[in-house]
Structure 1
């Protein structure tokens, strides 16, 4: 929120001022200004904020008041500290923070030690609560020991300052739009009429925050660059108040040339990508040689790994063969003692291991492997109890026979799966070899045939999936149920209908004969056939898809197309340019300041500036029309938020709509909407009668809060 600005230097002429010269403090919600009475400008101005960053080296927390200093950023981590203000809207309520601000303000002014032996004139908001004024008086009297104190409304001092320069008259209206709130204050004979004042909780802070929100929504990729400080800068530089908001909005919606001229651009930092020249032939040759060198290195590594693998398998095979030969030469008693020191339980297991290692060795050398049938050809030898009838076995042998049956069944199933997989691999390799031969003969014809085959397989798989999913349900359109069922489902329906018809003839005896259960076998086989055909098509589709991905660089699989379409809008298909880092301010230029006239745009159900003027005039029921006409003929605009171009003309147009026909009306801007409050207070404190308007420390100890409640200065001295 605070901008990067140079911190104010400490004044050195504090001792030159007489104790009778008052110190002027303009305690605003945005800036804190302090100086001497009679001077034209304040000595010290800084942001009315406090933050507590940590030292980067020691981690110690310090309290810093006011603006950021670029020098402090080298030593303190200011990014993780939150800023705190003593104000709630425009009323001081955090006096611990206010004490830090006053300490810093008096130190910058040159006060070396307490007490502060000068009278103080401090500004406050209109109708400031007595509790806030009492706490502020307690802080100044008891902490700083000031001799006397005076409170005055900042807008009233600014109005009197402009009155002295002939900008406004004694009877008039002050429309003050500040940082957090906006006020309308009527003046009669130079004095504010407090009971006729009006206030709205919308000010410059809300305009800046609204602009930041709109830009963040329109440009979410640059939200880190749209900080509060930058939004404040853009507001002060580009925003304006539209004379007719609806007409201005239509102008931008139509996209006319005038709207383009009113649009402003903010160019974010952007570094163009470096333009690389096309590589030369020498560079291409160097890269090709490097690529070939890397490929040869990978091939050498693969060859070394293959040689190591073959050596390990040969060594293991020789060991197993020696172990088998040793078992052949010894008796059965010695065989068990030899097996006890190995990981095998029988000679058959060692022979199976020899076969497996032999197969692995053949595969590592690239030789064709033997059929898996030879590997487990001795299953009957491994499970001898299976062929023996049960009546010839003992109970323990029966248990062992069941175990061997289970092991044999599992081994046979595993063997069949291996054989099936082996055959599928051989078939796939054969098909790939035939496809490669066709491709080499005519690449274009082969590619087109493969694409056609891919589309046919996709349609066939999708149709089978639809029939399987929706075959028994209702579908839209005029297709009958018989047309939606495939041949397998029709046969299954026929079998079920035949069984139901046979049951309806008489007694239900279904299941009494073995032939009845053939119905379930037929239905199950048909279903399996249907699933098997679907699996075959999906396998072939997967093979064709892989083949197309290898030979067709433009091919995109159907399964990847949906995901690609879902992420297509997030895919950046072009390099970033300066246009991508440009933020346009069009409607936002006048839409944000419009909340001063329509606070409901940001959720504040209160009146705007022009409507508040009418409310204040209606509250002056005791005044006649002549006084109101004189007041409307002297309307002055104050405050930092009144700097928007077009604000005074918009106010005049809005107030004219609520005033009688041909009644006098004049809206002017103050000499300096930001500094007039401090300058008016500094001029007020130079009057000889100023000492009669102060609240002394003796009055504070004698009267206390009740005296402050009745205290009210007179602005027309």
Structure 2
């Protein structure tokens, strides 16, 4: 099957004899495979599988572990996510495990269908026999492995560090792994599984907690928090606090020490381009282009105007010529003479000539004086509405209908003229008053400003009093302030009168049979209700408010210190702020030690189990021959191994926690493995390279003869 990977394939697989074992560290986080006796594994990748389809060919490919993210644009990953063969730290999805083993053997360089080498593979503590037998079946049936040996990764790491002199034969191995954490007691170099303790918490939960905290803190950068990136941030910046409460209080105070402990991750950010001011040459060039465009538009407008004037002049000459010809035609022959011209009567031609002449004069920009315009308008009106002064007796029904239409149009036109004249007179009056005000201000500016302020104050109080009375019905609480009033007190006089009439009518009708409407006097009630009963206080509100606006505008013009009183404060429109470099910074403060703290307090994420320090006491109490002497020997050599023990401060925090559960003066020594991540594989490699390794394996014939139940009693001896 095709693989997509950045890992190079080994080429020396056939150089190793068939007796050389293959060592596999099958962890929930990473898969490590290599040859026994070597110091480092040959192939390391994440223990996950993804099987998307190619967008072009539709072929299903297998992506195991790490891959190039740029290749994912060629695959459809909507229906295929990352999958792991582990449930906690136990292998249960052997179809996925087969993909992982295929990829591991392929990258190691295996060419044939069978793997003719013994295999030493790691497993979790107290691995279920079902998982162990399925793994044996997969290796024997699918890959043809001649023999297999199972061992615990933490035990191999403890054995390897014991050979280096880091820990003793009697001690404790604390292994905070990827999905679970274990404490294993060792006596004479052999693990005592009856005293083991496990908590379902590990590095996966720390990474997930950090990812959630950063996503909540920076929701607009959520796409940046991929699992791989958050894992790198965790291993680079997180640490274990010696005292969580004191560390949290330190960050609350925000001292200088907090700034030193805060880390910042800068996301990719491109500063917006700065617009340089245009040069003088550029400004001159744009001005020349603008002037050229303006000149072109003016020329086009002038050409259009000249063309329009020529059309109107030709039309005027044609109409004048037509009127001149009508003089020589008798009244009887006029309809037949005008049948081909589109006009019906002489009046229509004169009206068209008048309109065309007005349009021509407007196009040429000519204006007549007001008197001539008025006379012209009067003559035109008389010519347009010629049937108004004609008696109805001499008109036909169609002419009477036309007369009524002309009468309506004339009345409307005269109304518009009167409104126009009224507006003109009001404008003249305003100009006259403004001129008088300016003269008074020039005579005595101080007195004028004082009078203006007094008038503004009186008028504003009057308007506010009217609004207040309209709101609460004129009732106050004695301090000229609106008090708590009911709905009836907020009604004006007209509304109160309507309510009184309705109440009286309902009361009268409620005394007996409802006969409302039988008499004509009953219907007078609606006339009374619709009557406009405005109070005196409501008279002239528009004039007062308009005058108040005029005074405010006048005061703003002559007094710069004047502040307009307004009940409604203008809302400030939020201004657009361009994004800066600080907007793309991820600041990690309290998150650095808050996330790893769940290793000691799993109940923070809903796991009701003990932490790493308490697990030590639980493991010691589970020993079959528990005594203070044995406990002192074990706590005097505590080895921490596994990827999650790389946090700074882990050793000191575990030592302080174990000291709290042990008697005063007990010897406690906590050491860290030489390489907490690879020591398990290196210990297994040293073990598999020993000459007595073959005595600890079981062959394919043993599996066929004894069955899977025999694996229940299988246990590897580490002190060879």
Q: Normalised by the size of structure 1, how large is the TM-score?
A: 0.73
2:260 paired with 1:261: yes
Note the alpha carbon deviations across 1:135-161, whole angstroms, 9 max, x for none: 323322222121222222211221222
CA separation of 1:274 and 1:499: change in aligned 2, threshold 3 A = closer
Question: Counterpart in 1 of 2:621?
Answer: 618
Contact 2:475 2:482 in 1 (8 A): no
Q: Is the 8 A contact 2:36 2:685 kept in 1?
A: yes
Determine whether 1:522 maps to 2:532. yes
- How far apart are the structure 2 equivalents of 1:525 and 1:321? 65
The equivalent residue for 2:572 is: 564
CA distance in 2, matches of 1:113, 1:364: 101
Change (3 A) 1:382 1:89: farther
Shift of 1:46: 1.6
1:356-375 correspondence to structure 2 within 5 Å? 362=362
Structure 1 partner of 2:20: 21
Task: Give the counterpart of 2:681 among 678, 698, 708.
Answer: 678
Partner deviation per Cα, 1:484-512 (whole Å, 9 max, x = no partner): 99xx98664797699899999x9999968
Tell which deviates more after alignment, 196-205 or 319-328: 319-328
Correspondence for 1:479 among 461, 472, 481: 481
Specify whether residues 333 and 221 from structure 1 end up closer, same or farther in structure 2 by C-alpha distance, changes over 3 A only: same
Give the 3-state SS of the residue equivalent to 1:10 in structure 2.
coil
Q: CA, structure 1 residues 334+220, in 2 after alignment: closer, same or farther (shift >3 Å)?
A: farther
Residue 639 of structure 2 aligns to a residue whose secondary structure is strand
Contact (CA 8 Å) 2:139, 2:145: kept in 1 or not?
A: yes
Distance of 1:532 and 1:518 partners within structure 2: 26
Report the secondary structure of 1:564's partner residue: coil
C-alpha separation in 2, matches of 1:307 and 1:423: 39
The Cα of 1:105 is off from its aligned counterpart by 0.9
Hey, what's the Cα distance between the residues in 2 that align with 1:540 and 1:267?
A: 58
Alpha-carbon distance in structure 1 between the residues aligned to 2:222 and 2:579? 17
Residue segments in structure 1 that go unaligned for 5+ positions in a row: none
Alignment equivalent of 2:669, drawn from 666, 672, 683: 666
Q: 8 Å contact 2:54–2:76 — kept in the other structure?
A: no
CA distance in 2, matches of 1:140, 1:109: 16
Q: Match for 1:605 among 597, 600, 608?
A: 608
| 1:394-413 deviation digits (Å, cap 9, x = unpaired) | 9x999x99xx99x9999988
Once the two structures are TM-superposed, the CA of residue 427 in structure 1 deviates from its matched residue by 7.9
Q: 1:310 to 1:16 in 2, by over 3 A?
A: same
Counterpart-to-counterpart distance in 2, 1:229 and 1:481? 66
Q: Tell me what 1:210 maps to.
A: 209
Secondary structure of the residue aligned to 2:532 is helix
SS at match of 1:685: helix
Correspondent of 2:651 among 643, 648, 651: 648
Distance 1:411 1:484 in 2: 54
Residue 636 (structure 1) shift: 0.9
> In 2, Cα distance between the equivalents of 1:228 and 1:557?
58
User: Is structure 2 residue 108 aligned with structure 1 residue 109?
Assistant: yes
**What displacement does 1:82 show?**
3.9
Please say if 1:31 is aligned against 2:41: no
Deviation at 1:610, TM superposition (A): 0.9
- Deviation of 1:243 after TM superposition, in Å, equals 1.0
Match of 1:304 in 2: 300
**Contact 2:49–2:65 (CA<8 Å) still a contact in 1?**
yes
Q: 1:544 to 1:48 in 2, by over 3 A?
A: farther
Check if 1:294 corresponds to 2:290: yes
Please give the secondary structure, in 1, of the residue aligned with 2:689: coil
Q: Secondary structure at the match of 1:176?
A: strand
Displacement of 1:123: 1.0
TM superposition score normalised by structure 2: 0.72
The match for 1:148 is: 147
User: The residue matched to 2:8 in structure 1 has which SS?
Assistant: coil
Alpha-carbon separation, structure 2, partners of 1:464 and 1:348: 61
- The answer to whether the 8 Å contact 1:635/1:667 transfers is yes
Counterpart CA distance in 2 for 1:142 and 1:185 is 33
Q: Counterpart in 2 of 1:234?
A: 233
Distance 1:352 1:468 in 2: 60
CA separation in 1, counterparts of 2:650 and 2:315? 100
- Give the direction of change, closer, same or farther, for the CA distance of 1:383–1:207 in structure 2 (3 Å limit): farther
CA deviations 1:235-274 (Å, max 9, x no partner) are 2222221111111222222223333333333344555667
**Separation of aligned partners in 1, 2:537 and 2:317:** 49
Alignment-derived partner of residue 638 in structure 2: 635
Counterpart secondary structure, 1:615: helix
Alpha-carbon distance, 1:651 to partner: 0.4
Partner of 1:168: 167
**Equivalent residue of 1:266, what SS?**
strand
Distance across 1 between alignment mates of 2:678 and 2:523:
110
Q: Secondary structure at the match of 1:595?
A: helix
Contact 2:174 2:641 in 1 (8 A): yes
Displacement, 1:114? 1.0
CA distance change for structure 1 residues 522 and 271 in 2, over 3 Å: closer, same or farther? closer
- How many residues end up aligned between the 2 structures? 678
Asked whether the 8 Å contact 2:613–2:657 carries over to 1, the reply is: yes
| Alpha-carbon distance in structure 2 between the residues aligned to 1:511 and 1:199 | 97
Q: Is the Cα contact below 8 Å between 2:643 and 2:677 reproduced in 1?
A: yes
The answer as to whether partners of 1:324 and 1:351 remain within 8 angstroms in 2 is no
Q: Take 1:433 and 1:139, find their aligned partners in 2: how far apart are those partners?
A: 108
1:286 and 1:257, CA in 2 relative to 1: closer, same or farther beyond 3 A? Answer: closer
- 8 Å Cα contact 1:196/1:617 also seen in 2: yes
- 1:188-233 per-residue CA deviation (whole Å, 9 max, x = no partner) reads 4433333433222322222233333333444455545444333322
Whether the 8 Å CA contact 1:178–1:639 is kept in 2: the answer is yes
**Contact 2:316/2:357 (<8 A) preserved:** no
**SS state at 2:24 partner:** strand
Is the contact between residue 26 and residue 678 of structure 1 (CA under 8 Å) also seen in structure 2? Answer: yes
Q: Which moved more, 1:79-88 or 1:464-473?
A: 464-473
CA shift, 1:643, in A, is 0.7
Equivalent residue, structure 1, for 2:697: 694
Aligned to 1:185: 184
Question: Which deviations, in whole Å up to 9, do the C-alpha atoms of 1:17-63 show, x marking residues without a partner?
Answer: 22222111111122111011122211111222233466687675532
Contact 1:86–1:93 under 8 Å retained in 2: yes
Q: Secondary structure at the match of 2:104?
A: helix
Change (3 A) 1:34 1:295: same
Pair 1:706-2:709 in alignment: yes
Residues 30 and 494 (structure 1), Cα distance of their counterparts in 2 relative to 1, 3 Å cut: closer
Match of 1:89 in 2: 88
Q: Which has the larger radius of gyration?
A: 2
Moved more, 318-327 or 27-36: 318-327
User: Cα–Cα, structure 1 residues 277 and 711, in superposed 2: closer, same or farther, change >3 Å?
Assistant: same
Equivalent residue runs for 1:47-66 within 5 Å? 47-52=46-51, 61-66=60-65
1:97 offset after TM fit, Å? Answer: 2.5
Query: Which is worse superposed, 232-241 or 460-469?
Result: 460-469
Instruction: Report if aligned partners of 1:57, 1:75 keep a CA contact under 8 Å in 2.
Output: no
